Amino acid sequence: MKLWNGAGRRIYMQEVGTRDGLQAESAFVATEEKIALVDALSRAGVAKIEVTAFVSPRVIPALSDADAVLRGIERRPGVVYSALVPNVRGAERAIEARADELNLVMSASETHNLANLRMTRSQSFDALSAVAHIARDTGVAINVSLSCAFGCPMEGNVAESTVMEWCDAFIGTIGARGVTLCDTTGMAYPTQVAALASAFRTRWPDTELTLHFHNTRGMGLANVLAGIDAGAHRFDASLGGIGGCPYAPGATGNVCSEEIVHALELMGYDTGVNLGGLIDAAKRLPALIGHDIPSQIVKAGRRLDLHRPPADFGAIRERAHGRPLPAAPQV
Amino acid sequence: MKLWNGAGRRIYMQEVGTRDGLQAESAFVATEEKIALVDALSRAGVAKIEVTAFVSPRVIPALSDADAVLRGIERRPGVVYSALVPNVRGAERAIEARADELNLVMSASETHNLANLRMTRSQSFDALSAVAHIARDTGVAINVSLSCAFGCPMEGNVAESTVMEWCDAFIGTIGARGVTLCDTTGMAYPTQVAALASAFRTRWPDTELTLHFHNTRGMGLANVLAGIDAGAHRFDASLGGIGGCPYAPGATGNVCSEEIVHALELMGYDTGVNLGGLIDAAKRLPALIGHDIPSQIVKAGRRLDLHRPPADFGAIRERAHGRPLPAAPQV
């Protein structure tokens, strides 16, 4: 199957750790550390970075320095610097701080939208439209992230037709450049991903489609591969795998950037990312956020990061070679 | 692609937690608890269980009760009760305790074989042959597990031809009923798995092929799917994901049985396993081994294990519906 052989196909990695990850942390990461992190990520070759969120500092104190961070980073050509904005006020701040793209969020599930954003989906959509109106006037691109596109932790399944209808509203009515289908609580599974991504690609071949998976139930990489097989080539991921899930304490959240890049590079895909640079950046996270990170690659190293044989290996080999017969009893 | 739609295809789940998992634990799990665990696994519908290992109690004290466990379990028709044996002495004990199958181990890597078994591969093969000779006389089946089939943590890549040559020796010379290709330290990646499993299946269509993956670098489920796509349908996995990796402290080891079953069932495969029963068994592990387990499914629940909306959800909804305009400022 073609999927197993990447053959140099380009996959675009989009970093969400600095927003989706850090917003879930109780520690406040210093502004200059955040800037250094974003700069390390862009130097490593990540295609897009969700740098921060322009939200109320009362609601998310961890990102209260959104303006300073977005103004302080080094702008590397080709990298898209995105910011999450919940409303017109946030959009104005993000545009002033020179965001390349505004990321807007609403949920495919009415219950989740109410519980999370305290609005109906219809009210959220109106708010999104207002932001899009401003963005259009300033030439800043719009991406809409649709939460719970693969299921709602309270409602259960979300119909594919519901997801497609909202996408139609984002693309047709709002004029979004891109849509992100978000697996907010890790309910996506490969069969579903392949079907939904394929339906999206067929209907909107020219719209930027991003898939945003969480590894909550261990299916993150498998979902990425199902997405690739269905024609998707943009994936959100979080450095170190940071970012939890409020519905599953202790479970991992976002898929881990260096794990996805490590796997895709081995499979022959071109992620454009310098894996070493990415791992170095991830290794700085525990000191910044004050705890261990989920990243399996930081723990175990890359596939060919080899280990030395045991210290007495020479003696073991000599003894073995000196034995004419196997150690086990003969029959 | 056919892979994403299981369409009821049968996948055989083989449990290694009671051997590969428990042998790595410092806690000694009481014999009756081990027996209860094996019985819970067979009741849940697992196809094969590596019950224990007949090794020196000095080397692996955690499994010093191998005879009592294998004699004490309930024998469910259709379930294969396997035991790891390192030599003729172990094989004799396992056969006396009524093992259905003996699992023999050697490594595809000379360095790993020496470091791990203190013999050359050739000496290990002679020992295996001696065990197989005994097994043949008693009608007990032989499976050979080839460690480092996807790479050696000290040597690096292992040539596919090396793996195929050893498989040929196991099948052609020893007459093994089955071969397990083991990803001992989590070096396998999907492209490689698809190629190796496909080469094996083509050459030995009638030999029982098992793939044994570790999730050390987050590629466990993706490797299982690559294996299925290449025609494999037997997979080792460990309840709760227990069993570490000596080369990566803190990293996860074996792929987690309930994670694999959860994913494959969602994809429409028939694992024959009652997932609820499997999860219940996994939930008992932390009390037995004295620490948390890697299982993401135990932490996060199944995909449709839903959550209640927040306690003030009624009030949130009422307020939202009472608002004629979106909460966001209008333009």
d(CA B221, CA B240): 14
Give the DSSP H or E segment for A29. Answer: none
Q: What tens digit of pLDDT does each residue of B170-201 get? A: 999 999 999 999 999 999 999 999 999 999 99
- Domain boundaries, given as residue ranges, for chain A: 7-321
With beta carbons under 8 A apart, name residues in chain A contacting B246.
none
**Interchain contact B327–A (C-beta under 8 A):** yes
Nearest CA among B48, B11, B82 for reference residue B234: B11
Asked if B245 is an active-site residue, the reply is: yes
Residue of A nearest to B297 (CA): A217
- Over residues B206-258, the pLDDT tens digits come to 999 999 999 999 999 999 999 999 999 999 999 999 997 767 666 678 999 99
Interface test with B, best of A118, A126, A189 (most B CBs within 10 A): A189
A111 in reach of chain B (CB within 8 A): yes
Domain B2-322 has CATH 3.20.20.70: yes
Contacts of B331 (CB under 8 A, 6+ apart): A88, A130, A133, A134
CB contacts, 8 Å: B303 with chain A: 151, 187, 189, 217
How many interchain CB pairs under 8 A, A with B? 256
Residues 271-290, chain A: which have Cβ within 8 Å of B? Answer: none
Q: Select the residue of B118, B186, B320 nearest A114 (Cβ to Cβ).
A: B320
Helix or strand (DSSP H, E) at A325:
none
Indicate the CATH number for domain A7-321: 3.20.20.70
Taking the CA atoms of residue A196, residue A199, residue A205 and residue A211 in that order, the dihedral angle to the nearest 10 degrees is: 0
331 residues of chain B, pLDDT tens digit each: 699 999 999 999 999 999 999 998 999 999 999 999 999 999 999 999 999 999 999 999 999 999 999 999 999 999 999 999 999 999 999 999 999 999 999 999 999 999 999 999 999 999 999 999 999 989 999 999 999 999 999 999 999 999 999 999 999 999 999 999 999 999 999 999 999 999 999 999 999 999 999 999 999 999 999 999 999 999 999 999 999 776 766 667 899 999 999 999 999 999 999 999 999 999 999 999 999 999 999 999 999 999 999 999 999 999 999 986 555 443 3
Interval A255-283: pLDDT, tens = 999 999 999 999 999 999 999 999 999 99
CB contact under 8 A, A326 and B151: no
Q: Is A219 helix (H, G, I), strand (E, B) or coil?
A: coil
> Nearest residue of B to residue A124 by CA position?
B326
Which of A55, A183, A191 to mutate: most B Cβ within 10 Å? A191
Q: What is the CA radius of gyration of chain A?
A: 22
**How close B54 gets to chain A, by Cα (Å)?**
13
Q: Which residues of A are catalytic?
A: 245
Taking CA atoms, what residue in A is nearest to B246? A300
Of A133, A221, A320, the CB nearest to B221: A221
Chain A residue at shortest CA distance from B269:
A191
Query: Which backbone phi and psi does B102 adopt, to 5 degrees?
Result: -105, 130
Is residue B14 less than 8 Å (CB to CB) from chain A? Answer: no
Q: What is the ipTM of this complex?
A: 0.96
Interface probe with A: pick from B219, B265, B325, most Cβ of A within 10 Å: B219
Active-site annotation holder among B152, B167, B245, B256? B245
Tokens 């003729």 belong to residue: B88
